[in-house]
Structure 1
Amino acid sequence: MGVHLIYHVVDLFGIPTALYADLRCQHEGGKADDNFRITFYYTDKNVVMSATKYARESAPHIILQGKLGSYIKLTLDNQESLLLAGIRPCDNWNQEPENQWGTLHTEINGEIVRHKLESVRGNYQAYYDNIYQVLCENQDLIITPQQAITVLQLIELVYQSAKCGQKMAIT
C-alpha cells in the first residue's frame, strides 16, 4: 500500500469521516502485506481501494459508480511502464493509446451513451519541478506539509483498523 494511493483518494475526494481496513499477507513466509482492502467513508459516498498480489485475472484499476453512470479504466497511468522500458520523458512520451482510455457509460437525454474518454497525461516530473521552483523561485509547494501529515495520519489509522478489525472515525 503506497502513500501515493491514499494521497490520491484524499486529493480527489477530500478527507473521509471514517475508514475500515483489511490488510493481509497471503505469501507463505512473507512478512509484508500483499493484499488490502480499505473503505473510506464520506457523508455522501464510500471509496474502496484494494489490491492483491495473487489474482489470475487483473481487475479494472479504476471503477467509479454513481447514480448517473459508471467510469471504468482497465489500466493505470503508463508512466511507470514506459520508464521501466527505458523510454525517457520527452514531449508526448506518455500519451496513452485509445485502447487504454477509460470508458464512460451513462444516459444523456434518454439515450444510453458508452464511449472512451481520453486519459489526462500524468506528469510525475511536476513534483520535482515544483521542488526546484520552491528552492529557486520562491514558489509554493504543490503538496503541503499539512497534506503529507494528513495522509500519514490516515495510514496510521489504516494499520490500527486492520489490527483491531474496526471502523475508525477520523477527527
Structure 2
Amino acid sequence: MFFLEINNGIMFIVRKDDEMNKLYVAIIGYGMAGRLFHLPPLLGNPMYVVKYIMTNNEQTIQELKSNYPSIEIIHQIEEALTDQKIDLMVIATPNDVHYAYTEMSLLAGKHVVCEKPFVESLQQANFLFELAARQKKILRVFHNRQYDGDILTIHELIKQNPFGRIFSMTARFDFYSPQVQPRWRERPGVMPGKFYDLAPHLIDHVIRLFGLPKSLQMKTYKDREGALVDDHFEMEMYYEGLTCYLGAGQLFRNPLPRFQIDGTNASYYKYGFDQPDVNYLDIGDSYQSSGLRSELYTSQHEKVNIPILIGKHYLFYDKLAKDIQNNITQDSDKSYALKVVGLMEIAKKSDQINQIIEIPQSFQKL
C-alpha cells in the first residue's frame, strides 16, 4: 500500500507494507516443543513472521530447508540477538539454558517466551521478571496446557457447580513407556526427570482453579530399570477442606483417570488425552468426537456424559501478539508463572526431607 507523507514541506510517496506491523520471531531450539507447540501456531498467526530457527541437528536442518525454505537456520543464539528486526525470542531449548537465554534475550531488548520448566528457583524467576519490567519487555512462560480442551471443560463445569463442596481433585499424566531413552530429559542435569517435565502443567491447572494451597508434599521415584532420574512423582496439595492429588508415571499399563473431581453432590471422571492434543484454529466452542470417557456421576449409578471442548491453544500467541502491540507487560500469567516455580521449589524440598511443607504467606503477593 502507498501513503502520502509530508516532511519539511516536501511530499513523499511512501510504501507501507503490512509486514511493518508484524512481529519477527526467532525460535531457539527445535525439538518436540519447537516442532509441535511453537512453530505451527506462529506460522498460523498472521501477526508473526518466523525469521530464524536455531538448531545444530543436521537431519532437522535438512527437513526445515525442505519444508520451510523461507526460514533461516542459525547455529548460535547471538545471530538472533544481534538482529534488530527480531521482536520475540522463543526459548524452546533443553532446560539448562532457560535462565541464561532468557536473560540474554531480555538484555538484547527482545520479548521472550520461555518453555517450562522455567527456572529452578523463585529467586531466579523474580530476577528475570524484574529484568523484563526494567527493559519494558514481555516475558511469558509457555503454560500452553491451560488451553487444553479437558481443563477448559472442567473450568466450565465448576462454574455450573454440580459438585456441591469439592473435597478432592486428581490430575495426572500417566503413560506406558518402559524403556529408558537416551534423551536429555532422562539424564542427570538441570531440571531433568518427570517432575520438572509435567508438574508445571498440573500445578498450573490446580492454582488456576483453587488458588494457592496451605501446604504440600511431593515424592519422586525411579520405577524403570536403569532410570537415572525420576520417572514418576506423586504430589498432594492441601487446602481447607480440599486435597488435590497430582502425579505422572511411565509404567501405567491401565492409566488412572486423567482428571477426577469429587464433591458432596457429584463426581466427574475424564480418561485419556485430548484428541486432538492441540488445536491452533479458532473454531469457537466446538467439541471433540474422540469418544473419550467424560462422565459426571450424581449418584453411584446415575451418570451424565459431558462433552469435551476442543482445545484453544491458539489463544496463547494470539494474546501475546495483542499484548505486545498494546504494550501490556503485566497480567495474571506472570503471577501464575511465579507461583508454579515457587511451589515446585518447595515440592523438591519436600521430596528431599520427606515432609509436608507449609506455603509461605509471602506467596500470596506473587
Q: Please confirm whether the aligned pair reaches a TM-score higher than 0.5, indicating the same fold.
A: yes
**Which of 236, 239, 246 in structure 2 is aligned with 1:39?**
236
2:246 maps to 1:49:
yes
Please give the alpha-carbon distance, in whole angstroms, between the structure 1 residues aligned to 2:359 and 2:238.
10
2:253 maps to 1:62:
no
Shift of residue 76, structure 1, vs aligned partner: 2.7
**Which of 284, 289, 294 in structure 2 is aligned with 1:97?**
289
**149-158 or 96-105, which moves further after superposition?**
96-105
Listed as ranges, the gaps of 5+ residues in structure 2 are: 1-194, 361-366
Please give the alpha-carbon distance, in whole angstroms, between the structure 1 residues aligned to 2:249 and 2:323.
37
CA contact under 8 A between 1:134 and 1:141: conserved in structure 2?
A: no
Residue 120 (structure 1) aligns with:
309
CA contact under 8 A between 1:98 and 1:118: conserved in structure 2?
A: no
Residue 26 (structure 1) aligns with:
223
SS of alignment partner, residue 100 of structure 1: coil
Give, as a single letter, the amino acid of the residue that structure 1 aligns with 2:281: C
2:136 maps to 1:136:
no
Shift of residue 48, structure 1, vs aligned partner: 0.3
Tell me: CA distance 1:142–1:106, structure 2 relative to 1, closer, same or farther (3 Å): farther
Residue 172 (structure 2) aligns with:
none
Q: How does 1:127-166 map to 2 (within 5 A)?
A: 127-139=316-328, 143-166=332-355
Give, as a single letter, the amino acid of the residue that structure 2 aligns with 1:37: E
Please give the alpha-carbon distance, in whole angstroms, between the structure 1 residues aligned to 2:322 and 2:248.
35
Listed as ranges, the gaps of 5+ residues in structure 1 are: none
Tell me: CA distance 1:126–1:91, structure 2 relative to 1, closer, same or farther (3 Å): closer
TM-score by length of 2: 0.41
2:207 maps to 1:10:
yes
Please give the alpha-carbon distance, in whole angstroms, between the structure 2 residues aligned to 1:128 and 1:113.
41
Root-mean-square deviation over aligned CA pairs: 2.4
Structure number with the bigger relative contact order (C-alpha 8 A, sep ≥ 6) is: 1
Please give the alpha-carbon distance, in whole angstroms, between the structure 2 residues aligned to 1:56 and 1:143.
38
Identity %: 24
Residue 166 (structure 2) aligns with:
none
Please give the alpha-carbon distance, in whole angstroms, between the structure 1 residues aligned to 2:345 and 2:267.
31
The structure number with the bigger radius of gyration is 2
Shift of residue 56, structure 1, vs aligned partner: 1.7
CA contact under 8 A between 2:216 and 2:356: conserved in structure 1?
A: yes
Shift of residue 142, structure 1, vs aligned partner: 5.4
Please give the alpha-carbon distance, in whole angstroms, between the structure 2 residues aligned to 1:98 and 1:55.
21
Deviations 1:9-68 (A, max 9, x none): 110111000001111122233223211110000012100011210022122111111111
Aligned residues, how many? 162
Please give the alpha-carbon distance, in whole angstroms, between the structure 2 residues aligned to 1:97 and 1:140.
38
Deviations 1:69-113 (A, max 9, x none): 110001233343xx6xxxx73354973126225100015xxxx63
Q: Which has the higher helix share?
A: 2
Please give the alpha-carbon distance, in whole angstroms, between the structure 1 residues aligned to 2:303 and 2:317.
37
